[in-house]
Structure 1
Amino acid sequence: MAPDKVALSRKQIGGEVPIVVSEITDFCLYTGLFGTIDSVRMQSVCDKLTDIADDKQTDIVIIDLFNVESIDSAVAGYMLRLGGVLRLVGVTPIFCGIKSKLATTMVAAGVNMDGCIVTHNLKSALKLSMEMKGYSMEKK
């Protein structure tokens, strides 16, 4: 296997925008958002993540919201648009790690994630990404 095609890596490919994007397989990127996200920051995240996904020609992006403290309806709208933009360029977004407090806030704000793939946590998102590409994860 070529060095750039390792099964799992921690190759960070993010830049100056306040996000870290890691290539975890040759077909999947990961980013974890954190803190309180405002519209300006979310727009930067959207721009940077779509550029990186396009540059890397990735198939799947896992967007982890576990460490997000709060968002407003405008930010939630950016997240949904991000998912839409990624899908339009052939990238499947998987959102994961939405805590109950954040989920309650999102539902109260009228955020509808029906068109998005949402998993409980990073572990289930990674498993799903592998299954989507025809791999299976087995216990030894």
Structure 2
Amino acid sequence: MNSTAFTYKKFTNFDEAADSILRMMSKMLKINTLFIAKNDQKTNEIVKVVNKEVLLKEGDKLPFEETFCKLSVDHGKNVLFIPDITKSDLTNALNVTRNLGSGSFVGLPIFYEDGRNYGTICGLDTEQFNLTEEHVELFETMSSLLSYCLELDDANRQIQTLSAPLVPITKGVAILPIIGNINEFRLEAIIELALTKSGTLSLDYLIIDLSGILQINDMVSSSLLKIVSMLRLIGVTPILTGIRPDLAIKTINMNSDLSSVQTQATLESALKSIGFRLSRE
């Protein structure tokens, strides 16, 4: 009996999901160009696009008022389908129609959960195409899925912030407790937070507490060295605290060179090492 192997792909953010959705739809629909546009009510920007023959490119921008996407947003939560853009009163006077010359357009807004508009998911072709009920359902389903991905992205960013909050202690000193597992996405967020806040707060010392890290591997060790090196480059002295015995053993077994990094067992000892004393009234 023959079997077919399917490759499972895990998406880490909205962009990856959007790209995969457009590529899948392109295989199912006889439409030259499928794209996702983002708008701020002033500018419409193509953020993801799949072409059979190039009509649009990622990064293309137009004034929002002059786009088919604006018509789709105005149309509301239903699919807008224009079989012939040269004959529709909605599109025949637009510059984009004159540039294309002919064709069809289909579009549907993508909304955040609170009702704000993110942008649109659209299909465009210089040749006319037909749109079946199944095609309409496909656009509706993918719009809903993208809305869900937007919410997951937003929730994930909030979680990352909560799981690595930078807390100022006094002038020039702050603590960055790292909680949970570190992946590539979290690493970039933590590095950006550490560097940005260190500059904003004019830090001399940043105490990085690792007691909340669930596991350590090669990536975590190299990530710590990367953060430490970057902080030193901007004149901040990093101090690592909370390295548990199991984490220390794994670090040694992986031959990670943390010997040049200042470490302390606890937050209290780290503060004492830079001249602070804790006392009760």
Which of residues 262, 267, 281 in structure 2 aligns to 1:122?
267
Alignment partner, residue 137 of structure 1: 277
The TM-score normalised by the length of structure 2 is 0.41
Amino acid corresponding to residue 167 of structure 2 in structure 1:
S
Alignment partner, residue 70 of structure 1: 215
- Rounded to whole Å, the distance in 2 between the matches of 1:22 and 1:138 is 17
Alignment partner, residue 61 of structure 1: 206
Unmatched 5+ stretches in structure 2: 1-156
Alignment partner, residue 143 of structure 2: none
The TM-score normalised by the length of structure 1 is 0.79
- Rounded to whole Å, the distance in 2 between the matches of 1:25 and 1:82 is 21
Looking at CA atoms only, which structure, 1 or 2, has the larger radius of gyration? Answer: 2
Tell me the SS of whatever aligns to 2:169. strand
- Rounded to whole Å, the distance in 1 between the matches of 2:244 and 2:176 is 17
For residues 17-39 of structure 1, what are the alpha-carbon distances to aligned partners after superposition, in whole Å with 9 as ceiling and x for unaligned? Answer: 43111100111010111122223
Tell me the SS of whatever aligns to 1:110. coil
> Is the Cα contact below 8 Å between 2:207 and 2:239 reproduced in 1?
yes
Amino acid corresponding to residue 43 of structure 1 in structure 2:
E
> Is the Cα contact below 8 Å between 2:178 and 2:208 reproduced in 1?
yes
Deviation at 1:137, TM superposition (A): 2.3
Could you say which structure has the greater relative contact order, defined with CA pairs below 8 angstroms and 6 or more residues apart?
1
Which of residues 179, 196, 206 in structure 2 aligns to 1:34?
179
The answer to whether structure 1 residue 97 and structure 2 residue 242 are counterparts is yes
Percent identity of the aligned residues? 25
Tell me the SS of whatever aligns to 1:70. coil
Tell me the SS of whatever aligns to 2:168. strand
Which of residues 221, 224, 233 in structure 2 aligns to 1:88?
233
